[in-house]
Amino acid sequence: MSGPIASYLDELDDVLAFDPRLSRRVRDEIESHLCDTAEQVGEADAVRRFGRPAEIARAYAEAALPDRLRRSCVAAALLGGATLLLMRLRTVILDLPGGGDPLTWFDRGGLIAALVCIGAAWWMASRRRIALVRRWLHFAAGSLALSVGASLVRAFQGATGDSAHALIVGTALVELVLLGALMAQLARLDRYARRLAA
């Protein structure tokens, strides 16, 4: 395909690059619409009537923002919950001491800080304060990473035997996957915010 519609769709792809999945969906749908319109008024008018790609991209970013904020907060909440559960699981099964050493402090303090940050992010998301949601979720991700790291080091220090090490590695993998998912959500949210600010 070449001509005004193809050029328009390429331009739309560029401005929707902040969300490749959305970009694919939008391209197919809008191509179909433009071809329908072009049959009535020609390609150039079809494209002109549709509007500027940058404005369309911004409208899509605004439309998807509540869902994007919710997904980011859910990812953070899942990671927070999993961190709490897996930390307790390791502590109980490996019978780790609950002393006041620095690792325990980082482990528990990081988790508490993260849960507070996640709560603040939910509250800000309900008010659509994007910049503050991002900031609180980044704090939460950092605190959770600190908590997970301290918890794992603490577990390795107190663990003996293959089964104990397998438990630690298994739970660590779950936490790392969830942390990666949260970081991916935050990266996507950042791209949306940049599109809206453009």
Partner 1 sequence: MLKGHLDAVLLATIGDEALHGYAIIEAIRARSGGHFDLPEGTIYPALHRLELAGLLASRWVQPDGGRKRRVYALTDSGRRSLVERRAGWRSFASGIDLVLGART
Contacting positions for partner 1 (CB under 8 A): 25-26, 28-30, 32-33, 35-37, 49-52, 55-56, 59-60, 62-64, 66-67
What's the min distance (Å) between Cβ of 64 and partner 1?
6
For partner 1, the closer of residues 28 and 101 by Cβ is 28
What is the three-state SS of the chain?
CCCHHHHHHHHHHHHCCCCHHHHHHHHHHHHHHHHHHHHHHCHHHHHHHHCCHHHHHHHHHHHHHHHHHHHHHHHHHHHHHHHHHHHHHHHHHCCCCCCCCHHHHHHHHHHHHHHHHHHHHHHHHHCCCHHHHHHHHHHHHHHHHHHHHHHHHHHHHHCCCHHHHHHHHHHHHHHHHHHHHHHHHHHHHHHHHHHHHC
For partner 1, the closer of residues 63 and 176 by Cβ is 63
For partner 1, the closer of residues 10 and 55 by Cβ is 55
What's the min distance (Å) between Cβ of 186 and partner 1?
19
What's the min distance (Å) between Cβ of 27 and partner 1?
11
What's the min distance (Å) between Cβ of 59 and partner 1?
4
What's the min distance (Å) between Cβ of 198 and partner 1?
16
Using only C-alpha atoms, the chain has a radius of gyration, in whole angstroms, of: 23
Our CA angle for 4, 9, 14, nearest 5°, is 125
- Classify burial at 175, counting beta carbons within 10 Å of its beta carbon; exposed 0-12, middle 13-18, buried 19 or more: buried
What's the min distance (Å) between Cβ of 190 and partner 1?
19
